[in-house]
Amino acid sequence: MWTLVHLEVHRLLCLWAVYSVSRTSWLSSPVADCNLPSSFSAGILLAFLIPRVPKFSFSQDTPLSPATGDFNRSIPTQFLISPANFSFPAFAELEVDTGSNFLPLKFNHLNAHVFDLETDAKVGNGDMYGLTVPAKQFTKIHVPMNFSYVADNSSDITCETFLRWIRLFS
C-alpha cells in the first residue's frame, strides 16, 4: 500500500515538474522577448571582450640583443673553459601579434626559459612583469634574459656549442 501511494505521488510530482518546466520555458514565456535579445547581445559582447591568445615569435633580424643599463651590470659576463661555464645578460627580442584582439592585453608575468636544442639543457631564463601590449598590432618586446650554464668538464657539448656560437657572433 505504501509503495503504491509513493509511486502515485512520485508520478504526480514528475508530471508537475514537466508541466512547470514546459510552462516556464524561456522560449515560450513573455520573458523570452527580453531574454533573447539580451542573451544575443551578451554573446556578441563576449565575442569582442574575451582575449585571444597572441602569437609569439622570435625576431628574425636579431633574436638576442646585448643587455644595457642596470640589467647589464646586475649579471657578471663570464666565458670560461676551465671550469667550463658561461654567464651573460641579454634581451630576447620577441614579436607579439595581437591582430585578433580587440582590447589591449595585459601580462602580469611573462616567464621565459631557454634550452639547448641538442642536449635539452637549460641555459637561460628571464622574467618580465607588468607588460601591456596594444590590440591589433605587431609589437616587439625585449625580455631580459640571464644566460648561465656550468658544465662538469671542458668537453661538455652544451658549453662547447655556446662558446662556439658566442665566438661567431661577437
Sign of CA dihedral 141, 132, 146, 94: negative
Helix, strand or coil for residue 10?
helix
**What's the total number of domains in the chain?**
1
Bigger pLDDT: 8 vs 29 = 29
Position 130 in a domain: yes
Bigger pLDDT: 108 vs 41 = 108
Position 26 in a domain: no
pLDDT, tens digit (0-9, with 9 covering 90-100), for 27-77: 455 544 455 567 777 778 787 888 888 999 998 888 889 899 999 999 988
Residue 115, strand partner residues: 122
Domain that holds residue 113: 55-160
Position 27 in a domain: no
Chain-wide mean pLDDT for the chain?
Answer: 78
Q: What is the pLDDT of residue 169?
A: 63
What is the band of 170 on the pLDDT scale with cuts at 50, 70, 90? low
Position 33 in a domain: no
Position 63 in a domain: yes
Position 74 in a domain: yes
Question: 107: domain CATH number?
Answer: 2.60.40
Q: What is the pLDDT of residue 36?
A: 52
Count of alpha carbons within 13 angstroms of residue 93, beta-carbon side: 11
